[in-house]
Amino acid sequence: MTMTSPGDHAPVDHAWMISPLLDDTAAEDIGLGYQQPTRDQRDEMVKSFRGHSKWLYCPLPEDHLPLRYYAFKGNWHGRAFARGPMSMDLLVSSELRDLWAELDPTAVHFEPVELTLRDGTVLKDRYWVPKVTRTLDALVPEKSAVTRRISRVDGAPLGWGYLKNIPPTLNRAVVDGHHIWRLSNLSPYDIFVSDRMKVEMDRRGLGPFSARQAPLD
């Protein structure tokens, strides 16, 4: 799936892999849980976790929303970009949501979150789960530290996997004009942004986050 209608078609000079950063001891101790209102919804959510693409890209049914999270340990510092309760969850603040929607309005779908803090405070309309729906066939495998993944069942190709924990090389022509995306045939967890997006996240203090530059070819 490759979507091609970003909000700004400026060339991409650099690409960055970004992820939430735990920047202090207190943050490393933060624990979030998921409050699921019914057994059926909880079972459906488990199925969603098994199907990475469904959770990462597809909207949840309206009766599952808002997503309800709660903090059960640590001190929540009001960060703009954070890990959610599950390995595939991300949380973004309203400010980061607005930036992503401003620069690339068709690339991301956002689902509302109600976050209950340890003191009982409930944060509504403050945090969102982003689903980065834009995936690009931008990997340049011959210039990246990746290996082809093959099904053990039928020998069918399953895409690519990392050999080393370093950003892959991307095709400049494919990523040009986009500000946020995932790759269609590498780890679905990885989010890439343009240099303009990273500069704006830095300038507006929308983090903390780590950013590693991905070479363009």
Domain residue extents for the chain: 15-214
The HSE-up count of residue 36 (CA atoms within 13 Å, CB side) is 10
Tell me the pLDDT band of 209, cut-offs 50, 70 and 90. very high
With CA atoms as reference, report the closest residue to 193 among 182, 185, 203, 204. 182
Q: What's residue 93's pLDDT? A: 97
pLDDT at residue number 177: 93
Provide the phi-psi class of 155: left if phi over 0, else alpha when psi is between -120 and 50, else beta.
Answer: left
- Mean pLDDT across 89-96: 94
pLDDT higher than 70, residue 26: no
Per-residue model confidence (pLDDT) at position 85: 83
* Residues 178/181/185/189 CA torsion (nearest 10 deg): 160
Task: Give the lowest-confidence range in 26-35, 60-69, 78-87.
Answer: 26-35
Say if residue 98's pLDDT is above 90.
yes
Kindly report the pTM of this predicted structure.
Answer: 0.86
Residues 6 or more apart from 153 whose CB is under 8 A from it?
A: none
Mean pLDDT of 186-195: 92
